[in-house]
């Protein structure tokens, strides 16, 4: 049984840890980004090395103290906050922020869990490499949290999710042992894939303290384009054409609706919109080419072909690095515009790519049966991941429609389940989606996950209540 951290336990921790590990607990550690959910107070600890993490975990294990791992605090499913239960240790990895080594000849970087994602990107860029994980919160998200949630982002089409960008990890197990998995090997067929067991486990099986990350050659030239499409079905046909014509040069393929543009105009952030009007649907493509090919020319030829096939109606191609950045600022500002507008329900869904248009149509029809809404449907259609956000009508507040939240989620999750999709594409389960995991997942999968949890964390101290419901 999990017990609260007491003054006695705090004193034990102070006996073996430097004073710098102990920090004042501020509200920023107790609130998730959308401001809907809050955690209970706990003892905030900020170690700066793996050995101190070991000491913390061992004392917590000996006394059955729950541990809530904390990265950048950007998670959207409540995995970083504990809303109730015995007072926990909140273990922040923010001071474990060193890059331990870089092997440019191998395209590998070893970074500690507290390194901010943008800092990893910038360090790679300084050596004409890229670390391709990219998401709206990259300026504050930390790589340990990205690994713990198997974050996705905009470049999954070309480079995969976070687990595809990692060769190995170092993790502190629930009993205080260290899993030394910081491999630089790209081939190591020596048993179970333990690295990937921890990646995506949301801190429920151990504390990731460092990772061996893959770097990639920096494309010689890159360009982005907004193409106007008549509907989502045309967008999917365009994506198929892009894969055939561009192959691995296609880095990202995003769907954006007119509602997202309207929100940007209404509440900001301020961005340079690509068209003087608001297309009902458009896609944002990103292409990175190497020697001998210009990305702008590739996109121009693609547009001509797509226009001849009646897949696109209008378009604009970036002609400079600044314009490309401006294009992506539009896409990356949409989540903030959503937040400022105030959603009734925000969903992170995935379905097979070819069924995206069917999902959008079915969802709109079913939601119309329970009321009128504004729907901002956007996201990473190149990998089947749709962010489907439902808002009140103009003049209404989010609180006016709180009674619709559960009905909206059930409608969307039922549709996704019937279409062989997932109710959580890239955000994870956290504490907010444990009921849905039990309801929509294969029972055998749930039992296997429980068996793994019990095997590695028999006392249940690692992020209690995350992924698997606390019985």
Q: State residue 237's pLDDT score.
A: 98
Q: State residue 33's pLDDT score.
A: 86
Taking 90 as the threshold, does the pLDDT of residue 337 lie above it?
yes
Determine whether domain 99-217 maps to CATH 3.30.465.10: yes
This prediction has a pTM of 0.94
Q: State residue 40's pLDDT score.
A: 95
Please state, for a pLDDT cut of 90, what percent of the chain lies above it.
Answer: 96
Distance CA 169, CA 147 (A): 9
Taking 90 as the threshold, does the pLDDT of residue 271 lie above it?
yes
Taking 80 as the threshold, does the pLDDT of residue 276 lie above it?
yes
Per the DSSP assignment, residues forming a β-bridge with 285 are 225, 253
Which fold is adopted by the domain 221-418? Alpha-Beta Plaits (3.30.70)
pLDDT tens digits along 342-379: 999 999 999 999 999 999 999 999 999 999 999 999 99
Q: State residue 469's pLDDT score.
A: 81
Domain residue ranges of the chain, discontinuous segments joined by +: 7-92, 99-217, 221-418
Which tokens sit at 185?
A: 């090997």
pLDDT tens digits along 307-336: 999 999 999 999 999 999 999 999 999 999
Q: How confident is the model at residue 37 (pLDDT cuts 50, 70, 90)?
A: confident
The stretch 134-138 carries a mean pLDDT of: 92
Averaged pLDDT of the chain: 96
The stretch 172-180 carries a mean pLDDT of: 98
Taking 80 as the threshold, does the pLDDT of residue 292 lie above it?
no
Structural contact between residues 152 and 385, judged by C-beta atoms closer than 8 angstroms: yes
What are the C-alpha distances in Å from 68 to residues 14, 163, 207, 431, 465? Answer: 19, 22, 10, 12, 10
Q: How confident is the model at residue 20 (pLDDT cuts 50, 70, 90)?
A: very high
Taking 70 as the threshold, does the pLDDT of residue 134 lie above it?
yes
What are the C-alpha distances in Å from 259 to residues 54, 315, 335, 389? Answer: 49, 18, 12, 10
Please state, for a pLDDT cut of 70, what percent of the chain lies above it.
Answer: 100
What are the C-alpha distances in Å from 457 to residues 45, 67, 177? Answer: 21, 12, 12
The stretch 57-71 carries a mean pLDDT of: 98
Q: Any residues with CB less than 8 A from the CB of 357 and at least 6 apart, and which?
A: 231, 232, 233, 235, 236
Q: How confident is the model at residue 147 (pLDDT cuts 50, 70, 90)?
A: very high
Per the DSSP assignment, residues forming a β-bridge with 12 are none
Q: How confident is the model at residue 471 (pLDDT cuts 50, 70, 90)?
A: low
Q: State residue 359's pLDDT score.
A: 98
Distance CA 392, CA 376 (A): 11
Taking 80 as the threshold, does the pLDDT of residue 250 lie above it?
yes
Taking 90 as the threshold, does the pLDDT of residue 149 lie above it?
yes
Nearest to 469 by CA among 441, 456, 455: 441
Determine whether domain 7-92 maps to CATH 3.55.10.10: no
Which tokens sit at 168?
A: 């190995």
Q: How confident is the model at residue 290 (pLDDT cuts 50, 70, 90)?
A: confident
Which tokens sit at 467?
A: 């992924």
The stretch 220-227 carries a mean pLDDT of: 96
Q: Backbone phi, then psi, for 392, in 5-degree steps?
A: -70, 165
Taking 70 as the threshold, does the pLDDT of residue 31 lie above it?
yes
Distance CA 311, CA 464 (A): 49
Distance CA 109, CA 252 (A): 23
Nearest to 310 by CA among 379, 241, 397: 241
């Amino acid at each position: 049984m999990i017990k609260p951290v007491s003054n006695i336990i705090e004193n034990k921790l102070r006996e073996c840890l430097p004073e710098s590990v102990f920090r004042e607990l501020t509200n920023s550690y107790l609130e998730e980004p959308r401001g809907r959910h809050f955690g209970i107070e706990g003892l905030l600890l900020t170690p700066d090395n793996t050995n101190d993490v070991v000491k913390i975990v061992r004392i917590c294990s000996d006394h059955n103290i729950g541990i809530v791992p904390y990265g950048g605090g950007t998670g959207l499913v409540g995995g970083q906050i504990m809303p109730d239960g015995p007072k926990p240790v909140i273990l922040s990895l923010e001071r474990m922020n060193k890059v331990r080594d870089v092997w440019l000849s191998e395209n590998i970087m070893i970074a500690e869990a507290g390194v901010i994602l943008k800092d990893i990107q910038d360090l790679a860029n300084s050596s004409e490499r890229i670390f391709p994980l990219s998401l709206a919160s990259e300026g504050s998200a930390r790589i340990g949290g990205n690994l713990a949630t198997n974050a996705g982002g905009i470049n999954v089409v070309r480079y995969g999710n976070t687990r595809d960008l990692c060769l190995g990890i170092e993790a502190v197990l629930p009993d205080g042992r260290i899993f030394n998995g910081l491999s630089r090997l790209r081939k190591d067929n020596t048993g179970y894939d333990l690295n990937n067991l921890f990646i995506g486990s949301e801190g429920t099986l151990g504390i990731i303290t460092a990772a061996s990350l893959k770097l990639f050659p920096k494309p010689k030239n890159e360009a982005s384009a907004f193409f106007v499409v008549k509907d989502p079905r045309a967008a999917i046909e365009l994506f198929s054409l892009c894969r055939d014509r561009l192959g691995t040069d296609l880095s990202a393929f995003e769907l954006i609706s007119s509602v997202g543009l309207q929100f940007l105009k209404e509440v900001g952030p301020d961005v340079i919109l690509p068209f003087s009007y608001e297309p009902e649907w458009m896609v944002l493509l990103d292409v990175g080419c190497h020697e001998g090919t210009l990305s702008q020319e590739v996109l121009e030829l693609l547009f001509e072909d797509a226009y001849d096939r009646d897949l696109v109606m209008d378009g604009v191609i970036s002609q400079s690095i600044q314009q490309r950045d401006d294009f992506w600022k539009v896409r990356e500002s949409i989540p903030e515009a959503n937040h400022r507008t105030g959603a009734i329900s925000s969903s992170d869904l995935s379905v097979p790519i070819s069924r995206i248009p069917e999902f959008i149509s079915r969802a709109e029809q079913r939601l119309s049966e329970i009321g009128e809404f504004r729907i901002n449907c956007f996201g990473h259609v190149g990998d089947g991941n749709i962010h489907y956000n439902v808002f009140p009508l103009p003049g209404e507040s989010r609180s006016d429609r709180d009674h619709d939240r559960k009905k909206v989620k059930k409608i969307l999750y039922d549709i996704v389940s019937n279409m062989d999709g997932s109710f959580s594409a890239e955000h994870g389960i956290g504490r907010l989606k444990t009921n849905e995991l039990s309801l929509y997942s294969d029972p055998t999968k749930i039992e296997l996950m429980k068996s793994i949890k019990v095997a590695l964390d028999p006392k249940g101290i690692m992020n209690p209540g995350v992924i698997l419901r606390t019985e």
